[in-house]
């Protein structure tokens, strides 16, 4: 069996890695370079506190994999398990906080509702007036996305996977029971093609005649100069979409949850910088006056019903592995990639049936 994977983000590399562990011949195509897409442009928050109950088992399994994969691939993922805090800054979202904790407890996950004053006990400079309610889960924290991608790529290569960068897929043809993938004037033959192209997945799907129509979401992030590390948990305000964390070196990294856009656009905006600066300094006043060193934007995709699009399509052998959605990619991709590899190898896997691309 030969499998071609389009896209070398965490989802594509996880799928390739677990396929290669079973001895399957895999080639990965990345249109630019490793970390070009969303996997290299996010803030690295990971936790089972996902917004859809269907995804919690995959978030839990991904956390487990983040513990075990580094030793398998001999690469430190720089995972800091300092907890994860969700905030609600208006009363309407406070109920979502309570419901989220209730759901997590049904899964046996240690999570609790806390007051803004209790958040201040964890982060001394937190402004309690910036939130009405919060929840805390210590099963989570921050993982550095770059080592995750580098480590998975290393594991793939050690298993014989060929990862081709600067290799934009130009055309995919169906020839009998196989696919011909055209890249940089060369042709490659595969039994299966996995579309893990993220925000470019709609474009790749059209190459085989599928109109997928995943939503494309643009999100902006920034980093400041360093200060002494003191923000340990990852913080995410579900009302404003603002999130913030601090690196081990002291930089403050944060952004605002993205919005759906009509086209792929990775330009930065002054509007984001102003909104973020106002929001984060209200939340943590000590950050006032810090120099913003760099800001950037990334794009990712989400299934039309808010769930990932993972599995076989109506085109035999063409497989979707995309649509992971807002603030979920790093949280669920390793586990989804593992389960998708099982589906390709065995022909069925009930664990990801709910994400079947043909549900639409």
Write down the pLDDT at residue 286: 95
> CA 263, CA 226: separation in Å to the nearest integer?
34
Average pLDDT, the chain: 97
Pick the CATH number of 84-138+215-302 from 3.40.50.300, 3.90.870.10, 3.30.9.10, 1.10.275.10: 3.30.9.10
- What's the predicted TM-score (pTM) here? 0.96
The secondary element (H helix, E strand) that includes residue 318 is strand 318-322
Q: Over the stretch 283-325, which tens digit does the pLDDT of each residue have?
A: 999 999 999 999 999 999 999 999 999 999 999 999 999 999 9
Domains 2-74+145-213+305-359 and 84-138+215-302 share a fold: no
Write down the pLDDT at residue 230: 93
156: Cβ contacts below 8 Å, ≥ 6 apart: 13, 16, 17, 20, 26, 28, 163
- Scan for tokens 């949280």, then name that residue: 331
Q: Over the stretch 148-202, which tens digit does the pLDDT of each residue have?
A: 999 999 999 999 999 999 999 999 999 889 999 999 999 999 999 999 999 999 9
- Scan for tokens 């033959």, then name that residue: 189
Q: Over the stretch 340-358, which tens digit does the pLDDT of each residue have?
A: 999 999 999 999 999 999 9
Q: What are the CA-CA distances from residue 95 to residues 85, 114, 128, 268, 328 (Å)?
A: 15, 13, 18, 34, 21
Q: Over the stretch 217-235, which tens digit does the pLDDT of each residue have?
A: 999 999 999 999 999 999 9
According to CATH, the superfamily of the domain at 2-74+145-213+305-359 is: FAD/NAD(P)-binding domain (3.50.50.60)
Q: Over the stretch 5-34, which tens digit does the pLDDT of each residue have?
A: 999 999 999 999 999 999 999 999 999 999
- Domain coordinates of the chain in residue numbers? 2-74+145-213+305-359, 84-138+215-302
Residue % of the chain over a pLDDT of 90:
98
Residue 342: left if φ>0, alpha if ψ -120 to 50, beta else—which one?
alpha
- pLDDT band, residue 327 (cuts 50/70/90): confident
- pLDDT band, residue 83 (cuts 50/70/90): very high
Torsion sign, CA atoms 309, 312, 316, 322: positive
Point out which residues pair with 236 in neighbouring strands.
86, 243
Residue 53: strand, helix, or coil: helix
Write down the pLDDT at residue 245: 96
């Amino acid at each position: 069996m030969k499998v071609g994977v389009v896209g070398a983000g965490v989802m594509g590399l996880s799928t390739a890695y677990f396929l290669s562990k079973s001895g399957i011949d895999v080639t990965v195509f990345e249109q630019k370079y490793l970390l070009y897409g969303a996997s290299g442009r996010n803030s690295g928050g990971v936790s089972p506190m996902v917004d859809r109950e269907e995804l919690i088992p995959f978030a839990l399994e991904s956390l487990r994999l983040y513990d075990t994969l580094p030793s398998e691939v001999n690469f430190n993922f720089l995972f800091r398990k300092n907890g994860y805090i969700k905030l609600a800054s208006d009363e309407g979202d406070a109920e979502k906080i309570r419901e989220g904790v209730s759901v997590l407890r049904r899964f046996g996950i240690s999570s609790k509702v806390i007051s803004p004053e209790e958040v201040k006990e964890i982060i001394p400079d937190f402004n309690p007036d910036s939130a009405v309610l919060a929840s805390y889960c210590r099963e989570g924290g921050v993982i550095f996305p770059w080592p995750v991608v580098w480590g998975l790529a290393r594991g793939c290569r050690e298993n014989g996977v060929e990862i081709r960068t600067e290799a934009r897929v130009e055309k995919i043809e169906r020839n009998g029971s196989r696919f011909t993938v055209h890249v940089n004037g060369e042709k490659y033959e595969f039994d299966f093609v996995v579309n893990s192209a993220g925000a470019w997945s709609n474009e790749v799907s059209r190459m085989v005649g599928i109109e997928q129509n995943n939503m494309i979401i643009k999100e902006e992030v920034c980093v400041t100069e360093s200060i002494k590390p003191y923000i340990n948990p990852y913080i995410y305000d579900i009302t404003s979409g603002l999130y913030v964390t601090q690196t081990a070196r002291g930089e403050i990294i944060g952004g605002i949850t993205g919005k759906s856009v009509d086209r792929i656009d990775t330009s930065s905006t002054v509007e984001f910088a102003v909104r973020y600066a106002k929001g984060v300094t209200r939340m943590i006043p000590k950050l006032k006056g810090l120099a913003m060193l760099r800001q950037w934007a990334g794009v990712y995709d989400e299934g039309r019903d808010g769930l990932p699009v993972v599995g076989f399509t109506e085109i035999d052998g063409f497989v979707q592995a995309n649509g992971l959605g807002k603030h979920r990619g790093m949280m669920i991709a390793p586990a989804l990639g593992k389960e998708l590899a099982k589906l390709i190898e065995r022909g069925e896997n009930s664990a990801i049936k709910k994400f079947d691309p043909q549900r639409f």
